[in-house]
Structure 1
Amino acid sequence: MVDVLYSFVDINQRFDQLVFDPFYIRNLNMTFMTMKSFYDRMYSINNHVFDKICKNVLPKIYHQINELIVEQNSMERVLHNINYPQLYSLTLLGFSENVLFNHLTSNKILRQLLIEQIAHLKVDINDEPGEPSSETLAMMFALILSLCKQLIKLNFLNVKSFDDCLYLLDGRLNCLSKLIIGIKIIADTSGTIDNTKKLPKLKHFSLMSYRHTLLYDSLIVPLLRRMVNLENLILYLSIIRNNKNYIDGNELYNDILIYMPQLNKFTFNIRTNVDKKNDGIVFSSNEDIQHSFRRKEYGLVGSYVETFTTSVEYKCYSNSMPYHFKSGMFDNVQSLIMTDIYPFENNFFDVISQSFPLLKELYIFNEKPQKNKQQSMTLIAFSHLIDLDLSSAHADYAERFLVDKHCYLPCLLNINIRYEPLALVTNNFTGDATRLTCSKLTSVCLEEPFVSPETFSKYFPLL
């Protein structure tokens, strides 16, 4: 949209009539994302383009914009002198805590919008990972809670602690029906925020946390039990347990779903890591796990149980899956986690690439070799894939995705993988078959330490 507005406005009257057609000018994204790697991204907009849009475009369309996306460098001009009478959805991308807090306290138009109009708010805080929640963040939450009385949908990415989540659900957002939240670390809370009060207005809840947590039973389960009228639940969690069986369908139903009689859709990816020190525990088999998800609430579920003979560590991956893949059904899906007890066939990836044309993140959890590996492989293309995680996948999948004649990955920037399969598929970082894909990577995450051979840096020149 930014390119269209910049390129075609003020050429002639006919172009202006087309560009400013109120049927099309509803959603305005005033950002442009540049990426060094999947984890290092920046939102900005060219100054020359931005100047032209602010001067020649915004004064003509401000009254018909419903949804607006801005980043911190453009906020001052986009939300300074112009009001947006039809605006109900606001997205704030790539803000630091201090900058966003300053806008919330000093920008009169922003405050007025939050108080009177904004029903959908998305906030993506761009601070360094691992930093503890600050006093500024707490004050910012307090401001949002006090201003956003009309808020129905809140999407808050990259909050730092579980306290932040509890703070947003303390009851002051009394119109809130949908909350999507990403928590960096689910660890101990301060204990000062009530985690027992029911949340009858909440209909949709999505909780994502990529790091391991020990506090599923003590923090997450009590929170979910408060959502008595929930209709849609999404969970992405990695859980550590000591001397306790894997989380399965029976436990999810008895601990959570039985408290949600209105629930009609449950989407999840749950990874249970168990440290077994008690020989008396009998762990569920993968067949047991599959059987525990027989209730209609789950639909089709994939699972994979993994044990390590040299340690006392046990893992179970379980995730909900669509009943079938059909091109067009999932066009907007950008992240996909593939977990299965069976090896993925080659033609299965053809279906995936066609069914998810906008896929940007792909995670494969399957340590079994592919079946029929010797059959001819057709070239598959993931034209938008940026991040590929093969850290829990057999070396066959590294070959399937990194060999240039098997897979076309023009946008791939980051890969998570173990050293051994990477060295194997690249022929110790000398092979030509994988050179093109590897030469474009800007980030390679290897879980184990290794001594870098001389050929490594030449094989990955952008690292």
Structure 2
Amino acid sequence: MPEVFIQLNDLPDEIFIYILKKLTNLQVLYSLLGVSKRLNRIVYGSIFTNHLTLLRSISNDSIYPLSNRMLDRFCLHILPEIHHKIKWLNLESCSIERILRATNYPSLNALGLYNIRQEMNPPCFTDVILSNDTLRKQISFLAIQITDDEESINFSAHIFTKIFTVFTNLKYLNMNESFISQSLSFYISP
């Protein structure tokens, strides 16, 4: 019986994509972009570029920033190449400014911001977004996870005020569970 060796390059695109979908988009882009023309064509597809989570999460729900090496590669090489395909970004508080300033995101309409802390007052994400009128208008979905803190009630009110002032096209807002029990009131002038 003859031995049969199948290499990765022998697989049809559909099977290769099926295998790659077992990885995160972060892992696929970081590891495979630039390896070969075929991989670039597959990795550049909307399956891997529409929704990016540029943070590390651990099984106990802890969230951490990417390493500087990974951030460098994304900000200097990967994001500028795929910026027009990105529709959703999930970012950790330490890297929000760097990633949002790396390139423009003409298709971005959803943003997830994680580990927002009270000591970031005013939150760094507003400075970046305030300086980008297009980004302010195109975000329609916003998810924010604020790190729990005993004194977070006043901070959350400040965040809500900023959100509704900054994101002029916001349709959906998702906040972490700790804010469900908190009450906010808004005055809308005539």
TM range (shorter): 0.7 to 0.9
Aligned to 1:69: 90
Q: Pick closer, same or farther for the CA change 1:57–1:65 going to 2, 3 Å.
A: same
Aligned to 1:2: 26
4+ residue runs over 4 A deviation: 108-111
Would the aligned equivalents of 1:83 and 1:109 in 2 still touch at CA under 8 Å?
no
Letter in 1 for 2:173: L
Aligned to 1:119: 140
Kindly name which structure, 1 or 2, has the bigger radius of gyration based on alpha carbons.
Answer: 1
Give the TM-score, by structure 1 length. Answer: 0.33
For residues 373-384 of structure 1, what are the structure 2 equivalents within 5 Å?
Answer: none
Aligned to 2:81: 60
Letter in 2 for 1:156: M
Q: Pick closer, same or farther for the CA change 1:132–1:108 going to 2, 3 Å.
A: closer
Aligned to 1:155: 174
What runs of 5+ residues in structure 2 fail to find an aligned partner? 1-24
Q: Which has the higher strand share?
A: 1
Q: Pick closer, same or farther for the CA change 1:154–1:105 going to 2, 3 Å.
A: closer
Measured against aligned partners, the alpha-carbon deviations of 1:232-282 in whole angstroms (never above 9, x if no partner) come to: xxxxxxxxxxxxxxxxxxxxxxxxxxxxxxxxxxxxxxxxxxxxxxxxxxx
Quote how far apart the aligned CAs of 1:56 are: 1.7
Distance 1:86 1:111 in 2: 14
Distance 2:121 2:57 in 1: 19
Q: Pick closer, same or farther for the CA change 1:123–1:105 going to 2, 3 Å.
A: closer
Would the aligned equivalents of 1:72 and 1:100 in 2 still touch at CA under 8 Å?
no
Q: Which has the higher helix share?
A: 2
Measured against aligned partners, the alpha-carbon deviations of 1:118-149 in whole angstroms (never above 9, x if no partner) come to: 11110000132x33522x43332222111222
Aligned to 1:425: none
The alignment-based identity, stated in percent, is: 26
Measured against aligned partners, the alpha-carbon deviations of 1:273-309 in whole angstroms (never above 9, x if no partner) come to: xxxxxxxxxxxxxxxxxxxxxxxxxxxxxxxxxxxxx
For residues 103-252 of structure 1, what are the structure 2 equivalents within 5 Å?
Answer: 103-108=124-129, 112=133, 115-128=136-149, 130-131=150-151, 133-134=153-154, 136-157=155-176, 158-159=178-179, 162-164=182-184, 166-167=185-186
Structure 1 SS opposite 2:120: helix
Q: CA RMSD in A?
A: 2.5
| Pair 1:31-2:51 in alignment | no
Aligned to 2:14: none
Q: Pick closer, same or farther for the CA change 1:160–1:114 going to 2, 3 Å.
A: farther
Q: Pick closer, same or farther for the CA change 1:139–1:113 going to 2, 3 Å.
A: farther
| Pair 1:78-2:102 in alignment | no
Q: Pick closer, same or farther for the CA change 1:32–1:100 going to 2, 3 Å.
A: farther
Quote how far apart the aligned CAs of 1:109 are: 6.2
Q: Pick closer, same or farther for the CA change 1:108–1:55 going to 2, 3 Å.
A: same
Measured against aligned partners, the alpha-carbon deviations of 1:12-58 in whole angstroms (never above 9, x if no partner) come to: 222111111245421111111125x46xx233223222221222210
Which one has more relative contact order, counting CA pairs under 8 Å at least 6 apart?
2
Distance 1:163 1:133 in 2: 9
Give the TM-score, by structure 2 length. Answer: 0.74
Distance 1:26 1:88 in 2: 11
Q: Pick closer, same or farther for the CA change 1:56–1:137 going to 2, 3 Å.
A: same
How many aligned residue pairs are there? 164
Distance 1:121 1:100 in 2: 19
For residues 400-411 of structure 1, what are the structure 2 equivalents within 5 Å?
Answer: none
Letter in 2 for 1:70: L
Distance 1:159 1:103 in 2: 20
Quote how far apart the aligned CAs of 1:90 are: 0.6
Q: Pick closer, same or farther for the CA change 1:103–1:16 going to 2, 3 Å.
A: same
Distance 1:109 1:12 in 2: 39
For residues 35-46 of structure 1, what are the structure 2 equivalents within 5 Å?
Answer: 35=59, 37=60, 41-46=62-67
